[in-house]
Structure 1
Amino acid sequence: MSKKFPTFLSKIDALDKSFVKKYKSSTNVRRNVVVFAIIANIIVTVEHSLQALTFMLTKDCDNNSTGLEYYFKKHFHYIFDFFPYNTAFAFILLLANWIGAYIWNYGDVFIIAMSMILTARFHEIREKICIYTSAMPTSDKKFSKPLSNDLQKTNFMFWKEIRRDYIMMSELCRKLNDLISDVILFDFASNLSFILFQLFAGLSHKEKFAKILYFYFSFGYVVLRICLLSIFGGWLYEAGRASLPILNAVPTEIYNIEITRLIHQMHYNTPCFTGNNFFAVTKGLTLSVAAAVITYELVLIQFSPDIHADDHSTCL
């Protein structure tokens, strides 16, 4: 993906420059993406800080160290139970732990940001179609006449350009989906796994206030992330089909073969993101994820005695 993405970015840049010349945007997409990214990173910083604080306050390990050594042996007990303690190595592990948290968060932010950008472009196409059709004569007017040859040619060229732009945007979505479909699949799988085990831990154990606070915050945040992924992905899917009601109601005077082709294009080649073609990212995916969480959570609860029996951690 990283090797192919620079080429893809150059295509996005070229298409974006052509859209800026031909279309007017009613929203500041750049501002929305930046604000969303900042808020998401602030939340993940708070969430990971709560995790570290909760770990310090609620977990006990059998070690005789103090200060940083005690904290690192508690935090990375699964490593220092097998390897001798080293402060420099402990700091590297701590840095890797924080980087991993931001990388996990980055996948969601990246997918949502790309959905916001592409959705805005499809809305620009829809707005231009709305403006054009509202300015043209309609058949319900009493003395409506067929368009002159010059207007017919202009009308034909307008719809041809709209269809060409729509095809370019659809092709861009398809290529982007080919690049990030594995990321989407991994992102949904990791979020779903976290929800399952976090919910299982919250239902199975009664902990201190700090643990309860971290549980509700982290669990709510991951649920929000997976819902936002489905919602923004669903908006992209809907934006690709948003012009269909307008196209189906186009006045007879301006209807032509290019409109028919555009309608077929929207019906059979609707842009959307997929998880490596296992599922399409739409709003309905939220309900499917909720059903999966309930099903597998019940399975975890049924096998909970075996899970607890196999838990022999030295840091509890």
Structure 2
Amino acid sequence: EHFMSVISLVGLDCPPELILQRYTLRSHGFLFLKKDYTLWFALPLLVVSNIATALWNFQDTVIILFSMGLTSRYRRLNKYVAEICSDDNKDDQQNSKKETVKIYSWRKTREVYVNQAKLVRKVDTAVGPIILLTSFGNFYFICLQLFLGITQGINGASTLDLAYYVVSLLWLVTRFTWMILAAAEVNVQSKAALHDLYKYSSNCYNLEVNRLQNQLRKDYVAISGMGFFSINRNIILQMASAMLTYELILIQFDDK
């Protein structure tokens, strides 16, 4: 995507000796005029720009990796609970014995879920500013790309510019959606064990199982953007609705 951005700004007809100058003036023309251009000013600017682009993409990767790690831990816990419930239900049906899982074992399982929720909140505190920053940035640039495509049109654009616009927009939407889905999976997996607990045999039911059910049902665990918003699957539709609303407002003001 970044490579196509460079090609789109420079063009295929640019002489090799003018590539850096044309790219710098077109991408950062708001900083200086053509008469102020110097090689010693363009090189540091190019380095800083590439570092900023890499960090911008790296932010989403960090959030996705943290989310995948937390989700993986939840899945292992949920798998353990599912196996216990399945084994006890089978024994109860086959042997007709009213045996219960040791209360101590279920208490330890509940405490593990408590510690896992604490871990999610610690990670949320650490990466919350990054989530807020990258969500705002992705939201802004997606709206900007849509606005420019609608108002300026793409009918008169060259094939290269059109390809860059489509790839850039798809990359932004895909990356942002992937990040949201990865982070939202933490919230989904934090309650996934309830499905197996609700099917747990009444003959094996005990106080600790009831406490675990109440804990998973009432304790809201999710990654957030510094507490301003929590990331779950519903937020994708909310953001899509907000983007549509902003686009309509911007188009109306642009017409005036």
TM superposition score normalised by structure 2:
0.89
> Is 1:80 aligned with 2:80?
no
| Partner residue, 1:96 | 48
> C-alpha separation between the residues in 1 aligned to 2:196 and 2:27?
58
Q: 1:291 to 1:127 in 2, by over 3 A?
A: same
C-alpha distance after superposition, 1:226-246 (max 9, x if no partner)? 211221222111100000021
Instruction: Give yes or no for contact 1:155–1:254 (8 Å, CA) kept in 2.
Output: no
| Partner residue, 2:5 | 51
**Pairing partner for 1:202 from 127, 130, 149:** 149
Of 70-79 and 114-123, the range deviating more from structure 2: 70-79
| Partner residue, 1:7 | none
| Partner residue, 1:314 | none
| Partner residue, 1:224 | 174
Q: 1:81 to 1:247 in 2, by over 3 A?
A: same
Instruction: Give yes or no for contact 1:115–1:236 (8 Å, CA) kept in 2.
Output: yes
| Partner residue, 1:189 | 136
How many correspondences in the alignment?
250
> C-alpha separation between the residues in 2 aligned to 1:267 and 1:234?
17
> Is 1:247 aligned with 2:229?
no
Deviation at 1:66, TM superposition (A): 4.2
Runs of 4+ aligned structure 1 residues displaced above 6 Å come to: none
| Residues 20-59 of structure 1 mapped to structure 2, 5 A cutoff | 47-57=1-11
C-alpha distance after superposition, 1:18-59 (max 9, x if no partner)? xxxxxxxxxxxxxxxxxxxxxxxxxxxxx111111111129x
Q: 1:112 to 1:70 in 2, by over 3 A?
A: closer
Counting aligned pairs with the same residue, the percent is: 27
Instruction: Give yes or no for contact 1:230–1:283 (8 Å, CA) kept in 2.
Output: yes
Deviation at 1:141, TM superposition (A): 3.1
Q: What is the DSSP-based 3-state SS (H/G/I as helix, E as strand, rest coil) of the residue aligned with 2:203?
A: helix
Instruction: Give yes or no for contact 1:138–1:252 (8 Å, CA) kept in 2.
Output: no
> C-alpha separation between the residues in 1 aligned to 2:103 and 2:208?
7
**Pairing partner for 2:114 from 167, 170, 182:** 167
Unpaired segments ≥5 residues, structure 2: none
Aligned Cα root-mean-square deviation (Å): 2.4
The amino acid of 2:9's aligned partner reads: F
